[in-house]
Amino acid sequence: MPRDEPSARGHRPFRFRTAEGLLRKAEALGLDLPFDREIDWLLQPTQIASRRVPNRMAVQPMEGVDSHPDGSPGELAFRRYRRYAEGGSGLIWFEATSVVPDGRSNPHALVLTRDTQPAFRALVDATRTAAEAAFGPAHRPFLVLQLTHAGRFSEPGGRHVIRGACANPHLDPPHAEIAMWRDDEIDVLRDVFVDRIRLATEAGFDAVDVKACHGYLVSELLGAHTRTDSRYGGPFENRCRLLLDVVAGARDAVPDARIAVRLNASDLVPHPYGFGMATDGSDSIDLAEPRALVRDLVARGCCLINVTAGVPRYASHIGRPFDRPVSGGAVPPEHPLIGEARLIGLADAIQQACAPVPVVGTGYSWLRQFWPNVGAAVLRRGMATFIGLGRGAFAYPDAPRDLMTRGAVDRKKCCTTCSRCTEMMHRGAMTGCAVHDRAVYGDN
């Protein structure tokens, strides 16, 4: 092995001005990075559960940390989703919204209840109105609301008290006391999820996501191999029970609801503490269970899968390759292109397992001005159905409109993956792009 091989594969910030430079680096890393010179695939319409979607570009769920005290969306939330709608994305995935107040990941996260539902209905109406004003009635974006319970990461009152599905040495602070969820409490929460799916559907969302990623409660249960004497832990069918029961329960109780799932294809947390991992305790991914789960989800009526990976509190670069970690965070051991290729491959694997149900791919923001080229090639190869951006949408919400009108994005407006939006969220500050939306978020 050449002496410089470890550093050649190590972390480096984005420094590519040309496509040739990007592709040479991918080749040097031994990666097959899809890339097309034409981006027409991004602009093609498609369908989700017989509903037409105007293009293949998606906004990923990114929390704004700007709700009113009751959990209803605040003024900046309305601004954020109007900007996404005016920017032209065909699929807008609304941010994490807790099903109960004490399941919020921070005190300013959204909460959907009977009392806050009218504000969510107003948010849907404002988003649709903005899209129609910008593009006409034929352009109707598909709107998804993400429902969640933050589980062990809940901080509803600003104080973190860990309440988990099982102990996890990779996530638990040393000597921490962990309160465990009882089965009967999870039973109650299952019914709450179904009720909130009803509320979201009545509010006008096209689909409702049961969040099963990033170590939140539903996701944590998928990897709860060490949870014993429980209907929600141990064997595969028990670990998947809450997610599958919510999806099946919604199908029966809310026939008009379309159900989506944002799913960790792999936690990248070693077995027996993570989902989608080889059982030898290594960092190797094993997709046998994730593939089986998505087939079960589709059989129960799930119409859309959004693929991600990792637990940000454990290894934040897995789901979001970046140039700079959050302040005080560790520099990742791998080149961001390796993470990009991993996310593309995971979405591809799940897309093949659940076809023809559409899959949203994630993690494209680090690619800057080249994300449309990589995304178009992914679509052409059938490796995903939508290309999603989270941080990239914070920074540059009108990128889809520029692709529609100019055929290219503006490099200077692209996300710099500086992690400042994540830092804001961790501090509980209102969150957006401090670089490109400086007037609103520059001082946060």
In the three-class reduction of DSSP (H, G, I as helix; E, B as strand; rest coil), residue 81 is classed as helix
CB 410 within 8 A of CB 367: no
Q: Among all chains, which residue has been given the structure tokens 């991918």?
A: 26
- CA–CA separation, 206 and 323 (whole Å): 35
Distance CA 65, CA 105 (A): 10
- Paired tokens of 357: 């149900």
**Using CB atoms within 10 A of its CB, is residue 281 exposed (0-12), middle (13-18) or buried (19+)?**
exposed
Token pair recorded at residue 333: 């051991």
CA distance linking residue 219 with residue 227, whole number of Å: 14
Task: Indicate whether 8 pLDDT > 90.
Answer: no
Question: What is the rounded radius of gyration, in angstroms, for the C-alpha atoms of the chain?
Answer: 20
pLDDT at 20 over 90: yes
- pLDDT value of position 7: 65
Instruction: Give tens-digit pLDDT for 37-95.
Output: 999 999 999 999 999 999 999 999 999 999 999 999 999 999 999 999 999 999 999 99
pLDDT value of position 371: 98
> Looking up tokens 């961001």, which residue turns up?
336
Give tens-digit pLDDT for 291-337.
999 999 999 999 999 999 999 999 999 999 999 999 989 999 999 99
3-state secondary structure of 295: helix
Nearest to 386 by CA among 49, 60, 37: 60
Looking only at the bridges linking them, the beta strands covering 179-180 and 207-210 are unpaired
Q: Give me the residue label for tokens 């490099």.
A: 411
| Nearest residue to 444 (alpha-carbon basis) of 424, 426, 422, 428 | 424
| H or E element that contains 266 | strand 259-266
Burial of 435 (0-12, 13-18, 19+ CB in 10 A): middle
How far, CA to CA in Å, does 323 sit from each of 25, 399, 416, 426?
16, 21, 7, 18
Place of tokens 């029970």: 241
* Residue 160 pLDDT exceeds 70: no
Contact 413, 396 (CB under 8 A): yes
d(CA 258, CA 144): 9
213 within 8 A of 264, measured Cβ to Cβ: yes
Domain boundaries, the chain: 39-324+334-410
Task: Please state which architecture CATH assigns to domain 39-324+334-410.
Answer: Alpha-Beta Barrel (3.20)
Residue 197 pLDDT > 80: yes
Inform me whether the pLDDT recorded for 5 exceeds 90: no
Q: Where are the alpha helices (DSSP H) in 355-416?
A: 371-380, 391-395, 399-406
Short-list 216, 178, 185, 427, CA closest to 327: 427
Contact 61, 110 (CB under 8 A): no
pLDDT value for 157: 74
What pLDDT score was predicted for residue 130?
98
Q: What is the pTM of this model?
A: 0.97
3-state SS class at 291: helix
Looking at the DSSP assignment, which residues form a beta bridge with residue 208? 145, 259
Q: Which residue reads 């990075």 in tokens?
A: 33
**Sorting pLDDT into bands at 50, 70 and 90, what band is 1?**
very low
Q: In this predicted model, what pLDDT tens digit does every residue of 125-139 receive, in sequence order? A: 999 999 999 999 999
> How much is the pLDDT for 4?
39
Cα separation, 381 vs 367, in Å, equals: 19
Res 156: pLDDT:
79
